Amino acid sequence: MTRRTTTTVNVGGVHIGSQAPVVVQSMTKVPTTDVARCVRQINRLVEAGCGLVRVAVPRRADTQALAKIVARVNVPLIADIHFSADRAVEAIEAGAAKIRLNPGNVKSRDDLHRIIDSARAHRVAVRIGVNEASIRDLSRAAVPPAQRTALMLKEMRQYVRIFEKRRFDPLVLSAKSSDTPRTIEVNRAIAEAFAYPIHLGLTHAGLPDDARIPSAVALGTLLAEGIGDTIRVSAAGDPVVETKIAVEILMSLGLLARRQVELVVCPTCARSEIDIVSLARKVKKAVAGIDKPLRIAVMGCIVNGPGEAADADLAVCAGKGKGFLYRHGRRIATVPEDRIIAELLRELAGL
């Protein structure tokens, strides 16, 4: 996969752009004024894989709390701004490394210039965030969905021009929609039109169980086409869950190194002679605590078993009452079914 070439934006030491790895981010979901809880949630997000964390600061008390939070965490924070230029400037002064802004939601051009000048003075990056649900050009209900990609792109052009005219270029762009095809389409268009890094997200994707697949399809497609420099999965619930989904998407594409065991399992069919699913579940449980990027294959027949074994650190091809164990593709033992797990774990300890 070749990443689309972009500029590089420095967000408090974390680089966003094609010269850097794709950064996972999420957003806190507790009151920003509850500094202790907020710090705890941020730390959990970092542990889960976030390289950046976003915090909403709708009120003056929130930007005041932000200064305290910044001082207590080891990750650059992004302030999420809507409507208020005062909040934006306060957040910048409080130590946000980046602010997220929909310029369409800021009242006046003067306000926008005030934010830009403050960001420049403090070396703070800006994400220009356009959202299908906030298109302001026209009464949105009147614009058929098929025409909204063009409208979002037009909005983005107008906003970018304001920043460029003011000679401000540490920009990251995002265009979000709750519709998967439109998210793909609008980001392809933005990738084509600009050289700035892109923040990807499928917005309002639903509860985690509903959000997982549309998010993987939308973000996965774009990433597989080289588009996207930082990503956020949006799901209603614990942001650690969002982060885990984002991490899984990146890992599946090889854009993030695995830290745990990867389990390759045949889906089973009428050829299976032993209960592969139970065996795989037991293996998964047994390796849950192992923080090594090993690949283990649990296969049920000789059609693809030896082939998958060749790519795995360890593998078992299980047939009637027994399993053939493989280490790095070489068959090392034949064991009775009830000894498969024990022998696999013994081998694992030796890797």
Q: Interface residues for its own copies in 261-300 (CB under 8 A)?
A: 262-272, 276-277, 280-281, 284, 297-299
Among the listed ranges 88-96, 129-137, 153-161, 339-347, the one in contact with its own copies (CB under 8 A) is 129-137
Residues 16-45 that bind its own copies (CB under 8 A): 27-32, 38
Q: What is the DSSP pairing of strand 322-327 with strand 330-336?
A: antiparallel
CB atoms within 10 A of CB 245: 23
Among 14, 22, 23, 56, binds its own copies (CB under 8 A): 56
Cβ-count burial 192-228 (b if 16+ within 10 Å, e if not): eebebbbbbbbbbbbebeebbebbbbbbbbbbebebb
Q: Roughly how many angstroms between the first and final C-alpha of the chain, as a whole number?
A: 30
Residues 134-153 that bind its own copies (CB under 8 A): 134-135, 140-141, 145
Binding of its own copies by 235 (CB under 8 A)? yes
Q: State the Cα–Cα distance between residues 225 and 210, nearest whole angstrom.
A: 24
Among the listed ranges 2-10, 42-50, 116-124, 307-315, the one in contact with its own copies (CB under 8 A) is 307-315
Among the listed ranges 50-58, 120-128, 153-161, 192-200, the one in contact with its own copies (CB under 8 A) is 50-58
DSSP annotation string for 13-61: TEEESTTSPPEEEEE--S-TT-HHHHHHHHHHHHHHT-SEEEEE--SHH
Q: State the Cα–Cα distance between residues 194 and 254, nearest whole angstrom.
A: 25
Binding of its own copies by 252 (CB under 8 A)? yes
Residues 153-212 that bind its own copies (CB under 8 A): 178, 180-181, 184, 203-207, 210, 212
6 neighbors 198 (Cβ within 8 angstroms)? yes
Residue found under tokens 């966003």? 16
Binding of its own copies by 55 (CB under 8 A)? yes
Binding of its own copies by 218 (CB under 8 A)? yes
Binding of its own copies by 105 (CB under 8 A)? yes
Total residues in contact with its own copies, by rule CB under 8 A: 85
Nearer to its own copies, 149 or 170 (CB): 149
**At a CB cut-off of 8 Å and minimum separation 6, what does 142 contact?**
none
Nearer to its own copies, 39 or 277 (CB): 277
Nearer to its own copies, 37 or 166 (CB): 37
Among 303, 334, 342, 351, binds its own copies (CB under 8 A): 303
Among 245, 287, 318, 348, binds its own copies (CB under 8 A): 245
Nearer to its own copies, 140 or 292 (CB): 140
Among 117, 169, 225, 337, binds its own copies (CB under 8 A): 225
Q: For residue 180, is it left (φ>0), alpha (ψ between -120 and 50) or beta?
A: alpha
- For residues 167, 20, 98, 224, the Cα torsion angle rounded to the nearest 10 degrees is 100
